């Protein structure tokens, strides 16, 4: 295996990790931003007020994006395992 192939494998793995985590990170960012805005406007400083809804948003985002995430992960695994003979040389 050449260094270029190893670099490509690591690059593809990092990009796949980014794309698989992106839906939940975006949902968490939006929920955190909106909840912080509500806390500022209402002067509520309770930590449970921001934690519980944010966890619920993560759960919903994970449930909604799970089919897409599984399809992406499966296609990545098939592409890596399908080219093992190219990497083993």
Mean pLDDT of 16-30: 94
Query: What is the per-residue pLDDT for 82?
Result: 85
Q: What does the H/E/C string look like for the chain? A: CCHHHHHHHHHHHHHHHHHHHHHHHHHHHHHHHHHHHHHHHHCCCCHHHHHHHHHHHHHHHHHHHHHHHHHHHHHHHHHHHHCHHHHCC
* pLDDT, position 89: 61
**pTM for the full model?**
0.75
d(CA 89, CA 87): 6
Residue-wise pLDDT for 28-75, tens only, equals: 999 999 988 988 888 888 777 778 888 999 999 999 999 999 999 999
pLDDT score of 57: 93
Domain ranges of the chain: 3-87
């Amino acid at each position: 295996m050449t260094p270029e192939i190893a670099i490509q494998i690591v690059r593809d793995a990092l990009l796949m990790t980014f794309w698989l985590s992106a839906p939940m990170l975006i949902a968490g960012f939006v929920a955190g931003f909106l909840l912080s805005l509500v806390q500022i406007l209402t002067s509520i400083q309770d930590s449970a007020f921001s934690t519980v809804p944010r966890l619920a948003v993560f759960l919903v985002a994970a449930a909604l994006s799970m089919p897409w995430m599984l399809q992406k992960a499966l296609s990545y695994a098939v592409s890596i395992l399908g080219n093992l003979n190219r990497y083993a040389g």
